[in-house]
A and B are shown apart, each in its own frame.
Chain A
Amino acid sequence: DAEITQSPRHKITETGRQVTLACHQTWNHNNMFWYRQDLGHGLRLIHYSYGVQDTNKGEVSDGYSVSRSNTEDLPLTLESAASSQTSVYFCASSSWGFGDTQYFGPGTRLTVL
């Protein structure tokens, strides 16, 4: 069955370190998204991609970057982790239609000490 996976599921790191969170989908979806979920804020969009070599900034993109070199993967990089980036991160994908349902991964819980 097609799916969307994230790794690692849990990560503890130190302030200032570079961290990369992986997202891999086997739906062959064109669109991929990264969100963070914090208490009191719901999910907020970090970056998104509408296809290979396409990346766009979302609402809370400062301190994060993404690259899209193939259809299946959209890794999220924290260039220099900060305590404010402690959160649960969700990756999602959707098909060619921009208004289509998004399918979410299980999430990565990141703690920055």
Chain B
Amino acid sequence: KQEVTQIPAALSVPEGENLVLNCSFTDSAIYNLQWFRQDPGKGLTSLLLIQSSQREQTSGRLNASLDKSSGRSTLYIAASQPGDSATYLCAVMDSSYKLIFGSGTRLLVRP
């Protein structure tokens, strides 16, 4: 059974720092991996989607990498801002096209 783990569960950094959020999964037979952002009381917003054949995707200050063989993905946020404060969720799409989510990393960027 696919399991997705995100470390750390919470992170607090000063504004301007570069940071890395980690995601690991137990079964490398994935269709894709997605990173979402969730603001308090809101739904999820898709940030990046990496197909299983890809190694990374970039969008603005965000860069996500995928190492399928080791079951790991990282989300790199450059020059963090207070507006980046949110919960970041990693999800893998399994071979039956269902998303399996991690529990998320709650990020606080202090001004």
In the bound complex, what is the Cα–Cα distance between A40 and B101 (angstroms)?
A: 11
In the bound complex, what is the Cα–Cα distance between A104 and B104 (angstroms)?
A: 16
B47 to chain A, nearest CB (A): 10
Q: Provide the residues of chain B in CB contact with A44, threshold 8 Å.
A: 101
Pair B101/A42 contact, Cβ less than 8 Å: yes
Select one of A40, A58, A107 contacting B98, CB under 8 A: A58
Given contacts A43-B89, A106-B42, contact A101 B98 (CB under 8 A): no
Pair B97/A43 contact, Cβ less than 8 Å: no
In the bound complex, what is the Cα–Cα distance between A43 and B34 (angstroms)?
A: 13
Bin chain B's interface residue count.
20 to 34
Q: Provide the residues of chain A in CB contact with B102, threshold 8 Å.
A: 42
Q: Which residue on A lies nearest to B47, using beta carbons?
A: A101
In the bound complex, what is the Cα–Cα distance between A106 and B44 (angstroms)?
A: 8
Asked if A102 is an interface residue, CB under 8 A from chain B, the answer is yes
In the bound complex, what is the Cα–Cα distance between A42 and B87 (angstroms)?
A: 11
Given contacts A42-B103, A106-B42, contact A99 B98 (CB under 8 A): no
**Interchain residue pairs with CB less than 8 A apart (10):** A40-B103, A42-B101, A43-B91, A44-B101, A45-B99, A99-B93, A99-B97, A101-B46, A104-B44, A104-B45
Partner-A contacts on B (CB < 8 A):
4, 31-32, 34, 36, 41-46, 49, 51, 89, 91, 93, 97-99, 101-104
